[in-house]
Amino acid sequence: MPDMDFNPLGGVQAAGSAFARFDELREQHAAFRSTFGRGFWVISRYDRIVEICQDPGTFSSSAVSVLDPDPAYRWIPEMLDPPEHTVWRRLLGPLFSPAAVAARAETIRRQCAALVESLAARGSCDFVTDFARVYPTTVFLELMGLPVEDLPTFLAWEDAILHAPPVERAGRIQAMGEVIGYFRGVIAERRAEPREDLISTALGWEIDGEPVPDRDLLDLCLLLFMAGLDTVTAQLSYAFWHLAKDDKDRMRIVDDPAIITDAIEELLRAYSIVMPARKLTRDTDFHGCPMKAGEMVLLPLNQANRDPGTFTDPTQVDLDRPHNRHIAFGVGVHRCLGSHLARAEMSIALEEWHRCIPSYRIPDGVEALEHADLVLGLDTLPLVWD
């Protein structure tokens, strides 16, 4: 099994570069070991990534970044393994079920429509800054029962924590401290005066007959903040990047909104953004890879979802693709808890945007830019329309 000095992180680059890079790696290796940092394995095939995700006993979620195998933090429930993880998923499941999402759909639609309409008359925007970051953050604030007036503060925290370059570590640490302090205050307020929101609901939970401690509630809030905002932003940005470049696909959505459901699944498959990781609990030989306890494994979901062994013409977007078995939301016990909400946010965004702004493009001579990170995403997506 080859060794490579593969760094999953990268600077700002042309949009789509990361997918091309991973496509090339997949063609060369079914798996390899990177010597970057403390070293980690990289898996490139759909069936093998699925196999790892379905074996939490061997491949633990106690560390979720290949660059941080011994984390001092514990996001709940992402970094828990069964049976502890099972208890938390059972508690959280009803809050993110299809029925719960459907009950919020009209509120989400109003938020989305208002934002799109505020942009329409401008004739241009940076989609990432003006829409893709604002929209899911607004949904998050409503879900958590937080005031919409805090939107600018949350956007600033997101930027400092999730989008600042590595050299700005001090600013990132400061912003994370402010987020922790904010949620500590909210938890204390909800203990004193419960409301009809997620945090108030969680304060009533018990595990093994004991109330959930504030530390665990804080870890839950941090996960929802870290994972629930940036992922939707990134998926929306890549979806609209594709549609801004492909007139045929965009006009199909404009002319027949009924295809949006299938279009979202294909865009999720073609532009899968998340690269989760697992930590070995024991030594194992995994399809010829001599993995040792304590080592990390990177699972780029774009590698699985663009695998020609599973999908025909996988690098091409086909809105009519049959039997789309993508795993953009993961697979196994850690399949994304918020997948129903994310799909709803994407569906509503495509409906409302194309109802109001059906024809748009990237200006001539301008390039959309992305960052290569453990969650891929666009930094800029300039759009213009008449």
Confidence band, pLDDT 50/70/90 cuts, at residue 227: confident
In whole angstroms, give the CA distance from residue 236 to residue 257. Answer: 17
Residue 231: what pLDDT?
93
Under 8 Å between Cβ of 211 and 205: yes
Confidence band, pLDDT 50/70/90 cuts, at residue 80: very high
Residue 72: what pLDDT?
87
Q: For 230, what's the count of Cα atoms within 13 Å in the CB-facing half-sphere?
A: 24
Check whether 1 has a pLDDT greater than 70: no
**Average pLDDT of the residues in 264-283:** 98
Check whether 167 has a pLDDT greater than 70: no
**Claim: this prediction has a pTM higher than 0.85:** yes
**Which CATH superfamily includes the segment(s) 3-384?**
Cytochrome P450 (1.10.630.10)
Digit-coded pLDDT (tens) for 50-69: 999 999 999 999 999 998 99
Chain centroid to CA 285: how far? Answer: 30
Domain boundaries of the chain, sorted by first residue: 3-384
Digit-coded pLDDT (tens) for 118-162: 999 999 999 999 999 999 999 999 999 999 999 999 989 988 887
What proportion of the chain, given as a percentage, has pLDDT over 90?
85
Check whether 10 has a pLDDT greater than 80: no
**Average pLDDT of the residues in 87-104:** 97
- Token pair recorded at residue 174: 């400061």
CB under 8 A, 24+ apart: contacts of 113-121: 113/352, 113/356, 116/352, 116/353, 116/356, 116/357, 117/356, 119/357, 120/356, 120/357
* 236-to-129, 133, 303 alpha-carbon distances in Å: 12, 9, 19
Residue 161: what pLDDT?
82
Phi/psi region, residue 109 (left: phi>0; alpha: psi -120 to 50; beta: rest), is alpha
Q: Output phi, psi for 328, to 5 deg.
A: -60, -25
Which positions ≥6 away from 95 have C-beta within 8 Å? 198, 201
Check whether 230 has a pLDDT greater than 60: yes
**Average pLDDT of the residues in 260-264:** 98
